[in-house]
Each structure stands twice: as structure tokens, then as C-alpha cells.
A and B are shown apart, each in its own frame.
Chain A
Amino acid sequence: MTNYPSTSAITQAELDKLLRQLQQLRSSITTAREKIAPLETNLAAAYNEFQAVVGTLRRQSMRLQAEIASHRSQIQRFTQDEDDTQQQDVATDNFLYKEEQTTEFSLKDPEAIDKDILLEHIFRLLDPDVNAEDAELLANLQGLYSDATASLADLLEELPWGVVWITRNSQENLTQQYKRLKIWEGALNRQLQNLKQATEQLYKDPRYGLWQQQQKSPEHWHNFLSQCIEQQQDQNYELQAELDKLKEEWGRITSTNRS
């Protein structure tokens, strides 16, 4: 919970202190971003290399698995319709590897009002008609503003330290400026926490294991990829055989039904 000094007690000194804190937060965010960026790049590179070699086989596996599931449910539906009392064949154990839940996100931006206030503040302080730099910054920020997935902190990160940060606009008094900056502080704090968590998440990312394999030696990485190809090929052979069996079964069911 944000813990403001009481409105009447806001002083310029407190505001200055808050500004210093904001500046520090921005710097911490930059450091966190610098730390995360190479790791993300490395993981993406390792994964891309892995996918370039094994990806086709993995896609084939996904397709076969989906087709198997589809055929199996088709056969199950049919046999259930045929005989409701018949016990269901339980060949599917898809609890083992749970599907990732699709995140349902609301299109409504929870920080829309705060982003509005920021944009309004910028409009009051910058002069895009006169200053080309201001015009470019504003265009950039407007793009982010209209993106519902961009947070207030994303906008603030794009905003260079300067007049927009330190100046009170004509519609604000000291207390209102302080409140606005407090909201920005909260957004930046959240951003910093998210970045820290994201770094931790990268160490747990399945791609991290790939990157570790890649780091061992080029020969090890080559052998690892060769083994992945073999394993994936072997799985695909098995899946194909299973699919063929299901297709055959379905063919038998439908031909029996026709006759």
C-alpha cells in the first residue's frame, strides 16, 4: 500500500526526494534490462539452433499426436454411441503432460487512466510543433499508449529524464504532482520486480537446459542434437504406427457400419 505523507504536509524537499528515488529506480531498471538481454538472446539462439535441426521432426510429432487424439476421440465417440453401456476405453493418459493453459487476458488496460494522465502531462510540457525531438518522442509514446499490452512503466522507461519528470504542469499543485509521481514510482517498482522475476524465470526456462548443453563444447552440442534427432525420429515412427493402427480401426468400424 502506498504510504504518502499527508497532503498538507507535502514539501518541495519531499518531492525532490521522490524524484531522486525515481531516478534511481530508472537506473536499476536499465541495469536489470542489461542483465536479462544477453541471457534472453542466448536462450533464443540456442532454441533457434535446436529448432532448426529438430524442429521439423518436432512439428511432425505434434501433428501426429494431434491426429492420434482426434482419431481416438472419433472412435471413442462412435463406440460410445454404439453402446452406451460399454465401458470407455481409457487409452489416453494426457494428464501426464498437462497442456499449457491459454491465458485469457482482458483487453481492458488497467493503467489506462494513469497513461492518459502521463500523456496529458507530456502534452502540457512539450512542444512537438516547434521541437523535432519532442515530436519524435511524443509519436513514440503515443504508439505505446495505444498498445494495451504496454504498461505505464514501459512508457516511463521510454521517457528520458528531464523536464517531463521534474516539472509540475500548469494544472497541478505540489500535492497533485507528488501524487502523480508516486503513481509513477509504483509502476517503476513493479517493472523492476517483474524484470527480476523474469531473470529468475529464464534460469528455469526449458531453453536454459539447451543453452547449457551448447556451452559444454561444440562436439557435445553436436552429439546432443544428433541424439535429439534420433529420439524424435524414433518417437515419430511409433506415433505413425499408432496412427496407422487407429486409421485401420476406424476404417474397419466404418466399413462394418456401412455393410
Chain B
Amino acid sequence: MSIKDYQLDLPVPVGGEDLPIPVADAAPQQEQPRDKAFLEWGNIVSQRHVRHLAFDPIQGDLWLATGGGILHWKLELNRFVRYTSEHGLPGNSVSAVAVDGAGQVWAAHEQFGIYYLKNDTWRPYRILGEVKVSCLTLDSTGKLWAGTASGIYAINTPDRKPFIELPPAGFPPRAMAIAKRCCVGKASPQGEAQIANENDIWLCNAQGVYNYKNASWVRISDSVQPDVLTLACQGENLWLGTFRGLVRINLSRNKSQKIDTTYPGEVTALSPHPQGVWAACGGQVGLAAEAGWIPLTEKRFNAPITSLLVGRDDKVWIGTHDGLLRGENKQILLHLTDNAPDVIGLASREKSPPTFSSLVQALSVQQFADRSILWIGTAQGLFRYDLFTESWRRYGQLASQDIRAIITSQDQETVWVASWSSGLHSLKQQNELQTAPNISEPILTLTAGSDRYWAVGLDGLYEYKDLAWIQVIPHTELPVRGWLQAIAQAVTDHVWLGTSAGLLLCKTDTKQLTSITGKLGSVDVRSLLAINRDESEQVWVGTSQGLYIGNIDNWEPIPDLENRIITALVWDRNNNSLWIGTDKGLFCWLSQGNSWKINEFNIHNSGLGANRVIALTISTGEDKETKLWIGTPSGLSCYTY
């Protein structure tokens, strides 16, 4: 660009750099996995929240365990493959990944055990069941080791039981390092004890650093040492990353030395290097070598560094909670997919580009004649997803706002968006965001009634009338000692109000409130749905102890949902079915004449991103295919039927 016209007529000098031109075609290309475990399911979740990295030395590929599934980078081809719950993972939240010496890829889910990749779908390593894995590592022969609270396991192949099982070392290991013990001679055949003896096995946990000796774990310090976060073996050294800096222990001389780093602070990641160890210390990445601390650059990261890995050509891969970075030639550069949902919006000179927030809290569909828009409220802003063009937008004016509720007006012209701290906003096509005056934040929920709109806030109930929001019931006038949490209206003369201490009925003309008698009069109501069915009003009351159906004084619990927190309800009028979001999975209540049946969906039997459902909405495409959109803490899931 020879003409840098922005450099003219500026009140402040700018650098010689032009802004990057946002062209998606120049971005790395996405490849789809060859298969899906759950065909009707899909997940939209950012894979910027990196928790662990693994390098495949055979293929030269990089694998990332993220809060949004597994990301496989085919580095040579500049292509990437995303794996999420629909590909067999038990939800999107993955904590660790490893590629063993045979090229087998393994992943550890945050809670539900170890999985391995076969024919491009993830399958459970059933032998260990749903054990909670705290770390994965490889030994010098490339064998996989898994650290859990119930024991340490060395695993050879997916279809066999672990070839080594060591007892637990008290608390779950934070990190493990397994080095070949140099003083052991050759012996065969190898028994479990012998293999364990041939390896120098180290781990750190909330109690300190342990070494496996003579069939038991021996702590290296006399007292409890809870500040060791990670460790690595390199040559004769054991490196410890602690809350207060980096420590090297020379194992042959049994001497420890504190390493002087540029910044004091916690060491969150280590990766062995022939000259020492790469470490993330006080937010800075550097090489701790004999010569001292050599920082990669002067820069410090704001986002936590979770993993470091030495790749080919002496590149250092840096996994952070804000994405993957590549360190080479004294430079650190972002290595992102540059595709939505990882990147939605533009980067600036000082900030990495925005990403989709995984905590999806509110959903609404805006249906136009020729297309549908899905509005997504998250803990980190408002997003718009055009279901026809599949284009994304993150609203700059509500960037980093905690969005709790969204509704679309019945004429589909206006979208109302409620944020925790910035009030209630309206959005019309081609217009700027308008903030509603006279309404106090936080607004917790919004609903479109039969003839009007309602907003529920901590300070009471608001009604939209004559193009203005007015408070109709202050929280001080509630007949219960609780606050409003839910609202539903199906008929013109009354509206149902759910509070943290019971269900109320409110007359729309007089605003007279009546407490419902019986159990629902004091229950914690989390969600409400009122529909007109067979010319009568049917009300669904979602509580922290299950779901109820009924009207006025006749309420029946739904037995299959007892003791579940009912978080979201949506009625599918085309299929006469109710979708029920709970803290422990998604349910579909299907009406079949006079009877009904319930289908359960969870992270094991479906592509649901997480068992905790926060928000639900339905969209219908041109082909009459229905899409159920499910907001979870691990992204947005979609079920097509």
C-alpha cells in the first residue's frame, strides 16, 4: 500500500503500519472430520481457551485441548480440524491431549475420562471408566501416562488395560514427568514393577513433589509444599514451576537452585529443551539455561499461559487462555484459525481479535421473510449469527457486557437485549443501539406476552407500554421474601411470575398479585412457560426441584425430572413437544395423544456441549427442518430434527 492516507490529517502520529485487511479467504482453511458420532448435532464454540498442547512428531501436527473441544492444526498445510461433542467427545470441555509414540491421539475430558481418536471420532477408553484425569504425559518411549486421583496409569493401546497401575499419591497430580532411569540394566521379560523401576516417575500435587521409589510415593520435602504447580525432567535436572518462581534440582548432586527470571511470579508451564527448559514465569516466556534466563521477548502475557511445547525448527508453541501463539526468532505471533467462532471481529495493534464467548446465557431467533438471525447473549457480549449466510457479528457497543436476556418483538423488527450492568437496549435493523431510559439494571429476563412485553429485574417488574418501559411492580411489593426470576404470559388478563420463593399470579389490569397455594407457593421458580393449548392455558413451572405442569390450583410434577434444576423451557408448536433444559441434561417432552414420553439428551448420548443447559430457542429453516439451539457453559449446541 503505497498511499497511507490515514497518516494525513491526524491529530496524533501513527506508526507506519496499515490495518490488516479483513479477508477471510486468506485465513487458514478448515477441514471437516471424516465422521460424526452424532449426525444431527453440531457445536459452535471458540477454541481459543487453550489448556494443553501436544505435538505429533510423525505428522508434524499440533493438537490443542481447549475449553471448546480439540483443535488439530495441520501445520504444513495451514489447515485445521475441529472436534467437539458431536464427534464423540463427552462435551466440549477438554483438559488435556497427548499423541503417543505410535501416533495414537488421546484426550482427557474435564470430568469424564480418557478418550482416543479412531476413524476421526472419539471413543471412550472404557477400562478406566469416567475417571477424572488431571494430567496426561508421555514417557521417554512415547507411552501414555494418565494421572488421576485414584491412581497413575500407563496405557499402551486403547483396547488393553493399563500396563502399569500405580497407587494414588494422595491428591490428584498437577503434572507428571517420567524419565528413563539411567542406572538400570537391560532385563526381560518386563514386569510391571520392573518397568516402574526403570522409569524415574515424578509428580507434583497439592502436597508437594513425589518420586515413585520401591513401590510407593516418597515426598521430596519433609513438610507439605503446596506451591509446586508443574514440573519437568531434563537431563540430570528436575525443574519445578512454583507460585514464586522456577527451581532447578540437580538430581545427581541433590542440590536445588532458584532461577533468576526477569519477573517474579508463578511458573505455569514448562517444556524441556536440550539446553534447559522453556518456562512461562510471571507471564513471560523464556529459556532457563545454564547461562541464565533468556526471555523469548520482553513482553508479558495478560492471559494465563497454560502450556509450552517445543516444535520443529526450534519454534516454541505457547498455549494461553486467549489462543495459541508461536515464538520464533525473538518474536511472538498469534497462531489463530482466523475463522468464526474463534475470531469474530478485528484485531488491533494491542489486542488480539475478539472471540465467541463460551458461556451462552440467552438466545432468540429473529425471523425475516428470507432469512433468520440467531441472537446470542453471552457473558462476554452480544453476537449475531445469520443462519442463512453463516456470517457473524459481535456488537462493539455491548462488547464485554454480560448479556442475560434477549427477545425479538412479534413484528420481528426490534430485538431487546438485557445486560447485567448496562441496562436494556433495543436494536433495529440499520439503526444504532438504543438504551431504554428509566429501567434499572440488572434485568434478568425478558418475555413477549400475548399482547405486550415484560422485563424482570432485581428491583421489580417492568412493562413495555406506549413505546416506553415502566415499572409496574416494585420488588418491595412482592408478597414473598424473594426476588423475581421468571415470567410467562399466554392470556391477556394475567401473567405468571416466578420468584426465588414461590409462584405468583398477576392480574394485568390491576397488577394485583396472588400467591399460589401448595408446594409451588414457596418453591424456587427458575423458568416459566405458558401456552394456549386446546383452547386452555397450560403452564409449565421449572423449579430448582423439578418441573410442574398445571394451572391455578392444580399442579402435577413431572416424575422423570424430580430433583433437577429446570433452567430453560421452549415449546415446539410444530411438533407438539416441550424442550426442557436442566442442570443435568436436556429433555424432550413429547405429547402422544393423552399420554406423553420423555427423551433424555446428555453429553454421552448426544452432541450436547455440556450437561448444564442455560438457554433454549428454536428456529425453522426453509426446508421445514427444525433447529433447537442450546446455550451451555461450553458453547452453543444445535440439534436438527
Flag if A61 contacts B19 (CB, 8 Å).
yes
Q: How far is the CB of B431 from chain A (nearest CB, A)?
A: 13
Q: Which of A71-105 contact B (CB under 8 A)?
A: 87, 90-102
Which A residues are in CB contact (< 8 Å) with B22? 228, 231
A52 to chain B, nearest CB (A): 11
User: Measured between C-beta atoms, what is the minimum distance from B15 to chain A in Å?
Assistant: 4
Query: Is the CB–CB distance between B12 and A93 below 8 Å?
Result: no
Chain B contacts for A190, CB-based, 8 A: none
Contact A207/B1 with A63-B11, A98-B331 known, Cβ cut-off 8 Å: yes
A100 & B345 in contact (Cβ 8 Å cutoff): no
Q: Which residues from B are CB-within-8-Å of A68?
A: 350
Does B519 sit at the interface, judged by CB under 8 A? no
Q: Which residue of B lies closest to A47 (CB)?
A: B1
CB-defined contacts of B399 to chain A, threshold 8 Å: 234, 237-238, 241
Tell whether, in the assembled complex, residue A236 and residue B17 are in contact, meaning their CB atoms are under 8 Å apart.
no
A186 CB within 8 Å of chain B: no
Contact B21 A50 (CB under 8 A): yes
User: Taking the complex as formed, is A21 at the interface, i.e. its CB lies under 8 A from any CB of chain B?
Assistant: no
Size of interface on B: residues with Cβ below 8 Å to A: 47
Query: Which residues of chain B (270-313) have a CB below 8 Å from chain A?
Result: 283, 297, 299-302
Taking CB as reference atom, which chain B residue is nearest A98? Answer: B331
| Residue contact B283 to A90, C-beta cutoff 8 Å | yes
Looking at the complex, which one of A87, A93, A94 makes contact with B301 (CB distance below 8 Å)?
A93
Closest-by-CB residue of B relative to A93 is: B350
Of the listed stretches B187-195, B209-217, B390-398, B605-613, chain A binds B390-398
Which chain A residues border B11 with CB–CB below 8 Å? 63
For the complex, give the distance between the alpha carbons of A92 and B538 in Å. 55
Chain A, Cβ-Cβ closest to B346:
A235
Closest to B351 in A: A93
Which B residues are CB-close (under 8 A) to A94? 349-350
Residues of A within 8 A of B347 (CB): 96-97
- The answer to whether B23 has its CB under 8 Å from any CB of chain A is yes
**B588 on interface, CB distance cutoff 8 Å:** no
A63-B10, A237-B396 in contact; A212/B302 too (CB < 8 A)?
Answer: no
Question: Is B14 part of the contact surface with A, judged by Cβ < 8 Å?
Answer: yes
Q: Tell me how many residues of A have a C-beta within 8 Å of chain B.
A: 49
- Does A206 belong to the interface (CB within 8 Å)? yes
* Distance in angstroms between the alpha carbons of A233 and B393 in the assembled complex: 11
The answer to whether B14 and A65 have CB atoms under 8 Å apart is yes
Q: Does A124 contact B (CB under 8 A)?
A: no
What 1/0 flags go to A201-233 for Cβ under 8 Å of B? Answer: 000001101101100000000010001101111
**Is B20 part of the binding interface, using a Cβ–Cβ cutoff of 8 Å?**
yes
Provide the bound-state CA to CA distance between A90 and B350, in Å.
Answer: 11
Contact in complex: A210, B23 (CB < 8 Å): yes
CB closest chain-A residue, reference B322:
A93
Other A-B pairs, 7, CB within 8 Å; known A59-B6, A59-B10, A234-B393: A65-B14, A69-B349, A97-B349, A206-B26, A230-B393, A234-B396, A238-B399
Q: A residues touching B (Cβ–Cβ < 8 Å)?
A: 47, 50-51, 55, 58-59, 61-63, 65-70, 87, 90-102, 206-207, 209-210, 212-213, 223, 227-228, 230-239, 241
3 nearest A-B pairs in the assembled complex, by CB-CB distance = A234-B396, A209-B23, A237-B396
Q: Would you list 24 pairs from A and B whose C-beta atoms are within 8 A, ordered by A residue?
A: A61-B19, A66-B10, A66-B12, A90-B283, A90-B300, A90-B302, A92-B350, A95-B331, A95-B333, A96-B333, A96-B351, A97-B17, A97-B348, A98-B17, A206-B1, A210-B21, A223-B389, A223-B391, A231-B346, A233-B396, A234-B394, A235-B345, A238-B396, A239-B348
